[in-house]
Structure 1
Amino acid sequence: MTVSFPHTGTLPETTPRLHFRLLRDSDAEFILALLNEPGWLKYIGDKNVHTRKEALAYIHTGPLAMFKQQGFCLSLVECARDGVPLGLCGLLKRDSLEWPDIGFAFAERYHGRGIAFEAASATLKHAKEALGLTNVSAITAVNNTASMGMLFKLGFTLQGRIELPGVDEPSNLFLKIL
């Protein structure tokens, strides 16, 4: 089944603590650090981003290319008060999944503050209200209990395991009806 998505090109609204924006070249150092944090490497995997140049390539061929193609992407989530980058949150469209899936990753120093839940909630609201989506998927490593717990808190249901291209081990597949 082919599902088409609107190409509105919008991002979630600012929340009381968070601001969403497209990544830009000046975010390369933050992306380089985030993509090499132990949690990212363990649960998401090594994206082979080990230099500033590779971080720039990731920004342009990943999130910015997806935004141009789909009208949504992983956005930089920053502190609304001072613009400090906190992490990434948004929607991705993978050929192997019927629906867009939500992705989130925050610098480990910001874990445990409710930031990921706030960002993911805003992203789901945006998916429904601005993009007109009726379903959103999510995938996690089978041992990523923190992300699974947050997905359950957000109202996702576990659908089972899925084999994803380029991923050595099965992943958990979740679905949320919006």
Structure 2
Amino acid sequence: MSGNGVVAETERLSLREATDADAAFMFALLNDPDYLRFIGDRNIHSIADAASYIATRYRAGYAEHGFGLWLVEENATGATIGVSGLVRREGLDAPDIGYAFLPAYRGQGYALEAARAVLEIGRSRFRLPRVLAITNPDNAVPHRLLLGLGFRQNGTVTLGENAETLRIYEIRFPEDRQ
């Protein structure tokens, strides 16, 4: 990993580790109405809450697992536009891929481009045999994206304190993950 926290680059995007300086972006993303509806309320009510969330959720994941959700920047503008990465979640037996983008950057292929980079990191750098994904059954967009990436739907799973039933997907990587 480079000194600036960049973990991957694609034609249009850079994925990097979150820092305290990203608190305003994180506040906006975590309070986006679609984020709240489809992913959940993280109780982020201030920039200070967002900074704490970055420390306890994002940087803690990097330290514990070597991966987590990374910030996605648009190379052309340097704008932080979303998050994408791998998460170790209670109740799942493998890491799952996640992503979320600000409304202005949806529908432009950024999620697919970032997810491909994340899967490659999981396969080659972390040598994961498989990656899971979970989605809210009411949200059709990630369903199409995940199938397009090669995931297969694998039933449902109930996770979290609210015992929410979610779709679960899986992608397996070939044994030779060189």
Specify if TM > 0.5: yes
Asked if 1:133 is matched to 2:123, the reply is no
RMSD of aligned alpha carbons: 1.2
Is the CA contact (8 Å cut-off) linking 1:158 and 1:175 kept in structure 2? yes
Q: Does 2:53 correspond to 1:58?
A: yes
Partner of 2:144: 149
Match runs of 1:20-59 below 5 Å = 20-59=15-54
What do the CA deviations read for 1:131-152 (whole angstroms, capped 9, x no partner)?
1011000000011100111011
**TM-score under structure 2 normalisation?**
0.92
Alignment of 1:75-86 (within 5 A): 75-86=70-81
Counterpart in the other structure of 1:3: none
In structure 2, what is the equivalent of residue 87 of structure 1?
82
CA distance in 1, matches of 2:160, 2:22: 28
**Contact 1:11 1:72 (8 Å CA) reproduced:** no
Question: Does 160-169 or 13-22 show the bigger shift?
Answer: 160-169
Alignment-mate amino acid for residue 32 of structure 2: E
Paired letter, 2:103: E
Q: What are the residue-to-residue correspondences of 1:109-128 with 2, within 5 Å?
A: 109-128=104-123
| Identity among equivalent pairs (%) | 38
Residue 168 (structure 1) shift = 4.2
Unaligned segments of structure 2, at least 5 residues: 174-178
Match of 1:99 among 94, 98, 123: 94
Which structure's relative contact order is higher, taking Cα pairs within 8 Å and 6+ residues apart?
A: 1
Question: Size of the alignment, in residue pairs?
Answer: 169
Q: Matches of 1:11 and 1:97 in 2, distance apart?
A: 27
> Which range moves more in the overlay, 154-163 or 11-20?
11-20
Q: How does the TM-score come out when normalised to structure 1?
A: 0.92
